[in-house]
Amino acid sequence: MEVHADRTLEFFSRISAIPRPPGKEERIGRWLMDWAAAAGFDGRRDAAGNVRVGVPASANHGHFPLVTLQSHMDMVCERTPDSTHDFSCDPIRPVVDGEWLHADRTTLGADNGIGMALSMDLASDPAVAHGPLELLFTVDEESGLTGAMTLSPDFVSGRVLINLDSEEEGGFTVGCAGGRKTRIAIDHPTAASDPSDLAMRLTVAGLRGGHSGIDINAGRASAIKVAARTLISCQWIAPLRLARLDGGTAHNAIPRDAEAIFICPAQTRSRCEEAVQALAVDLQREYAGSDTALRIELSAAPDPAGFPALTAAATRQTLQLLLGLPHGVAEMAGVLLPGLVRTSANLARVTLSGGHLEILSSQRSLSPSQLADICGRVEAVADLARASFQTDAGYPPWEPDLGSGLLACCQRVHGALFGQAARVEVLHAGLECAVIGSLYPGMEMVSCGPTMKHPHSPEERLHIPSVGRLRTFLAALLSTWGEVP
């Protein structure tokens, strides 16, 4: 079977040239509206920046039911420490490497730029027969599905939706976890350093990170947890005082890097260095199967007088809080969905400067009651540390409908094209289907996508042949959907 990805990849290249961090989708939104106008389609944009493009049916297909193709505009902005890429203004330039596409030391943005490209390609290719289409492009998905949450009742007309934000070709996603975020804050007293003290810099780097839903069960190290464990090991030796702490980047990314500056008596430096070296060996052995490039380094920082530091007691309180907060898999789904994570937490982001500590934790679960429970655990640890905390309303789980007519049609078309049934999956990651389904009752939905590896990290890669196969499937589905018995 001959499959084509060239048109889709051309759209993806044009999308990648436009910076689109979460919450900053103004340029890509305008570009979509200009594209719709040039193509003769009906483009609408709501107050939040979500874009809906109405596409008329092909000839002889006007009787088909309206189908909504949905994707999101924004991308996770992650880069390696040596990258100078500025996501606010620099374009992403995809690099072809055999059958794979990747970026130069940054996230590629195939999540979800390739979904946008697929819908634009299918809608504008005269060779693809289809009924009336509705292309829905949402904003700010990566910050917590907030763009989808703002959709008004009259913005989406279809009641059959294909979400293009899954990450493994050959499968249909029919359910996903719900998620909530907890923000923790505490203001600590600071004190000037003794002139004889030293300022030391601890660096944790080289970790793989990854998507906090898809990769949370891969056993990868959290840079924040590694930094906290290392600092605690030094605290047993020296009355160290934290001055600065910075780790992680986004609620839905496992932290890859962390850096701390602490003050300690000069005579304890060599013992701290020995403790760090010993723990580094242990942790490199501990994470040998997942984070082979893990590095923990201790070096001298500038004059400690420039770093107002916490008291020793406040430092201990901070480190105990970071150690106590849950991170990783809390419970697996069990025999009904073997191998699937039911509930997890991601200790996503920490900053400390001038005595002000802020922590961001992200929780997910397939079960509403367990989502409430894991959030309660995070809040309990924060409360024991006498920190303030606030958990957002988040988004609900998307409960699977295995009897869906849309799913049955997808399976028939997939089997006819490829000679086998597709996988039917439930994801631990969050999808906008959860929000859209709650806003538009009765919506039939499936999610699919081409194969990509390591989303939400600079290792993100897109499998080019899978893009072509998915395009072939979607074109066949759209040409037959109106003939479903």
Q: b/e per residue, 449-464, with b = 16+ CB within 10 A?
A: bbbbbbbbbbbbbbbb
Active-site hit among 25, 111, 134, 141 = 141
**Closest alpha carbon to 204 in 185, 228, 237, 236:** 228
Query: Which residue type does 148 have?
Result: A
Phi, psi of 173 (to 5 degrees): -90, 130
Active-site hit among 25, 74, 165, 460 = 74
- The DSSP line for 192-209 is PPPTTEEEEEEEEE----
The continuous run of DSSP H or E covering 417 comes out as helix 405-418
Active site residue 74: yes
**Closest alpha carbon to 158 in 72, 53, 47, 29:** 53
Contacts of 13 (CB under 8 A, 6+ apart): 94
CA distance 284 to 73: 38
Place of tokens 């009641």: 159
- How many residues make up the chain in this entry? 485
In angstroms, the Cα distances linking 320 to 113, 230, 236, 326, 386 are 40, 12, 13, 12, 12
Tell me which residues are annotated as active site. 74, 141
